Structure 1
Amino acid sequence: MLYKIVPNNLVSTVKIPAELKEELKNSKEVAIKYGLQTQKIEVIAESSLSKDRLSLSTNTIHELSLPLEGLYELKVNGEEIIIGPYIGILAALTSDSLEKLLPSLSTYVNKYERIGGSIMAFALDGVDQENHCIQGYLYNPSNAMWNKGIYKYPNSLFSIVEASLTDKWKAYQSIMYHFRSYLGNRVFNFPNFSKWEMNKMLTKEFHSYLPETVVYKDADDILNMLDKHGNIFIKPVNGRLGKLVYKAVLTKSGAIIHYGKNGNQKERQFHTKKHFRYFFQSRLSGGEYIIQKSIDLITYHHRVMDLRVIMVKDQNKRWRLLGMLTRFGANGSIVSNITAGGRAEMASKTFRKRLGLPRDIQKRLYRQIKDITFHSIKEVEAHGYHCGNIGFDIGIDQNLKPWIIEINNQNPDHYIALAAGSRSLFYRARMMNMLYAKSLAGF
């Protein structure tokens, strides 16, 4: 049940519906909690109080920094009442960009009544670590608006920012570790793991599903992998959205490098190792890239093609595979990302209509991919990472064997579902993120 909090003029007092009195074991004093704040107050059972109302003294509301706009769930046990949930979403790197994002953030509260409580969106530069408060926006369900203000820390939190390729990466990590020191395991999808860390975690159990990968130290590493495999990718260790990815192909007269960004693909040919080395040494820093064998993936009309598998934790803290979608790269692109001009559709349509796979082959592929994703994310969590929102990139080769290309854990945005024409999948994924955050907050 959702409760409306109403103020009263008493001091340090809570009036509760008579129905709740038994759950408090007739205590005359309780600890009332909201976010990270706690106050000891007197309890009064009020028979005339509506069963969906809780009446708090004005001074207690002020001391708890409790907004009255929301509708709250109550956790009542013994000698305490917990009001919540109070969920924080780190949604932007700067306050200016946060303001522009607010309309899109409403997709997280599409069905507020299933979540309840306080939902705050904030930017990295809005966090005041010294005073333990945040300048951000609190969702008001009565008018579906976001109210700007200064708020106390929430009691669960997740991030949807993409900081790894920006100058805010170190600040982002510092602030997220700061939150984790106060919230513990109630912060999810942090810390983030890189492509190389993913490879190290999974290589023992899943080496047969991982393309051979090494860390870039110098250009000779690229030459060695190219000589060995003939076709390789060079990717940023912490890259996102297919940015700054290079593809190298061995030819009879040397090598061809494909690269570019924002759909602007370039091609360079090299006939000497000296010029090849210089090209990469002038662009890449040791330890910041991986070199990966290119898999001979199935294509459609010469477009690069792979699968995005959406996995989220639900309100019961269990993993759910919500959907599999196909990403088709733009013409001439070496990546399949939607942001690089690609397009998407549901994988079932791809398997059935584009590839014409028999039903038993489709079922086998689904089963294999499900097993790979569930078991590999279990392995990742065994290494101490707290995940709740994951996007698997799975490639399928010419023999219909699935490969783990990447596990996106920084912000696997599920807009791909909209690109594939499935609004219901998109909203379901976002709702699951909120319900998992709610469960971490204790509700």
Structure 2
Amino acid sequence: MGKNINISKMNTEYSSLLIHKELADSLSVQEYQLYKLHFGKKDALVTVITSEHIPPDHVYIDKKTYGFLKVPDSIKANLMMSGNNIVIGPLIGILAAGKKRALRKMLAVLAEDSKLYETAGISLAVFSLEGISLSDSVIKGYILHADKNNWKKVVLPYPAAVIKRIKVNNNWEEHLAAVFGKSILNLYNFDKWEMYQWLKGHPELNKYLPDTKLYTGPDDVINFLKQTNKCYIKKSFSSFGRNIYKVTRKPDGYQLNYLKKKSQMDIYLNDNDLYTFLEENSQTEEYLIQQCINLQLINNRTMDFRHILVKDEKGNWINEGCIGKRGSINSIVTNTNSFLKPGRLLLRDSQYFNRKEAVELSDEMARLSVKFAQAIEETCPAKGNYAYLGIDMAIDRDKNIWLLEINNVNPRHRLAKYAGYPNIYEKAVLNCLHFAKEVSLDFSDHSAAFSKDVTE
């Protein structure tokens, strides 16, 4: 591989790539042979010409091919071979925001991982939905100058692979699937109800699922509470502990706990008040009713465990680590003022587990997390080609393990970094990038619309 190669255009009419002889030899490129030159989803046929009279870290592309591939001016990138293909980059994209303004606010945080992008040997572009131009198949976003650790605003071809970090509507989903095929990662985002339905059919895994029903009206909650005194009502698609209500049946009514603007609400309602509250707060989106698990506590604080799952470059699921989350006093979720710690150590903080039990439960959760990831990908009708997941589990007071949620939009692996374990985060990012890089080199997924013999 040629690293940090300066790529420029040259004033010639022939579709050609001028490369230093030493670099050509290191890539096993033969002079005067025809190769496909790739940048993102675009490729063009070029004839390789070698020279010892140009700088070893420079290559030159004829101006017509350079323009067709939409290579930015003054770019530095790796050059690699894959079969009869010469690849610039490869160009990997992160679909990070819906709007350009939101994307700009994220650039500083995204640049923090510049060394990881460099280690992975890729050219990284970030873009928003608003930056996708459907008419000419380009993205308007930013490409990272790793050596300068800053972003350059550019127009680029569609990337060779895309790591999707946002939820999109059905129309965008169909477009992205048509353009990228298997080279867009985490394309289809499933909700809690879909997850429950898919895993319910797995005999080995369904025992770890809390009993869950689809909410259709207040009577569903009343009937559910006739079987058990407590339940959760939660949005089928939400995160960060939002839109979760805990209902407890009392002799004279119901106790309702929920989070409102970071404050814990604790109110008592009679039958009519509960009906009114549920009707007013569940009209617009799909809600679920879920069994209330008697969770382990540490000083009246709930705890659960985020497992960081990513694929390696061979497409195998890897559990990179577990971060335990401990919530506020008497909170029904762990997302408020969370205390973060490696899962095994947080288990040992609880008076319910000795050292041996903490190790055994940690290992079992790690094993199950991989099983859950594999089962989701096997069952998902859309075959979402997932590359990273955040799997939340909890343990009850009888030491049973429960699956709470599988985060698949943007699983916040940075939790490991915030917990003081950046090595877990960095390994997760690198594995995800290596998998994206491997996916990008599957040229069978490239459309003829992105290829051209520029000598025509």
TM score, norm. by length of structure 1: 0.91
Partner Cα distance (2:433, 2:159) in 1: 13
Q: CA deviation at 1:48?
A: 4.7
Q: CA deviation at 1:286?
A: 7.7
**Does the alignment pair 1:224 with 2:223?**
yes
Post-superposition Cα deviations, 1:159-202, rounded to whole Å, max 9, x if no partner, equal: 223x4xxxxx53xx432431221111111112011100000111
**Does the alignment pair 1:419 with 2:393?**
no
Q: CA deviation at 1:70?
A: 2.8
Post-superposition Cα deviations, 1:239-288, rounded to whole Å, max 9, x if no partner, equal: 1111111111111111111122341221221122x321121012213870
**Does the alignment pair 1:43 with 2:48?**
yes
Q: CA deviation at 1:436?
A: 2.1
Partner of 2:178: 181
Q: For residue 75 of structure 2, give the secondary structure of its aligned residue in structure 1.
A: coil
Post-superposition Cα deviations, 1:281-311, rounded to whole Å, max 9, x if no partner, equal: 1221387011100111101010111111111
Partner of 2:357: 361
Q: CA deviation at 1:110?
A: 2.7
Structure 1: runs of 5 or more not aligned: 164-168
Is the 1:17–1:53 contact (alpha carbons within 8 Å) kept by the matching residues of 2? yes
**Does the alignment pair 1:69 with 2:66?**
no
Partner Cα distance (2:100, 2:291) in 1: 41
Q: For residue 317 of structure 1, give the secondary structure of its aligned residue in structure 2.
A: coil
Q: CA deviation at 1:350?
A: 1.4
Query: Which amino acid letter does the alignment assign opposite residue 253 of structure 1?
Result: D
Partner Cα distance (1:398, 1:34) in 2: 55
Partner Cα distance (2:233, 2:156) in 1: 43
Partner of 1:200: 197
Partner of 1:303: 301
Is the 1:215–1:287 contact (alpha carbons within 8 Å) kept by the matching residues of 2? no
Q: CA deviation at 1:399?
A: 1.6
Partner Cα distance (1:179, 1:84) in 2: 21
Cα distance, 1:362–1:247 mapped onto 2, change above 3 Å: same
Give the paired residue count. 431
The worse-fitting range, judged by mean Cα deviation, of 47-56 and 151-160 is 47-56
Structure 2: runs of 5 or more not aligned: 443-456
Partner of 1:85: 90
Q: 2:111 aligns with which of 106, 113, 116?
A: 106
Q: 2:121 aligns with which of 112, 116, 119?
A: 116
Query: Which amino acid letter does the alignment assign opposite residue 14 of structure 1?
Result: L
Q: For residue 241 of structure 1, give the secondary structure of its aligned residue in structure 2.
A: coil
**Does the alignment pair 1:10 with 2:6?**
no
Is the 2:187–2:385 contact (alpha carbons within 8 Å) kept by the matching residues of 1? yes
Q: Kindly report which structure 2 residues correspond to 1:5-404, keeping only aligned pairs within 5 A, or say none.
A: 5-11=7-13, 12-18=15-21, 20=24, 23-24=28-29, 28-48=33-53, 52-67=57-72, 68-78=74-84, 80-161=85-166, 163=167, 170=169, 173-205=170-202, 206-272=205-271, 274-285=272-283, 288-337=286-335, 340-355=336-351, 357-383=353-379, 384-404=383-403
Q: CA deviation at 1:317?
A: 2.1
Query: Which amino acid letter does the alignment assign opposite residue 196 of structure 2?
Result: N
Q: RMSD between aligned alpha carbons? A: 2.2
Cα distance, 1:354–1:394 mapped onto 2, change above 3 Å: same
Cα distance, 1:55–1:33 mapped onto 2, change above 3 Å: same
Partner Cα distance (1:76, 1:122) in 2: 26
Q: For residue 423 of structure 2, give the secondary structure of its aligned residue in structure 1.
A: helix
Partner Cα distance (1:108, 1:3) in 2: 17
Cα distance, 1:355–1:386 mapped onto 2, change above 3 Å: farther
Could you list the runs of 4 or more consecutive aligned residues of structure 1 that deviate by over 6 angstroms after TM superposition?
none
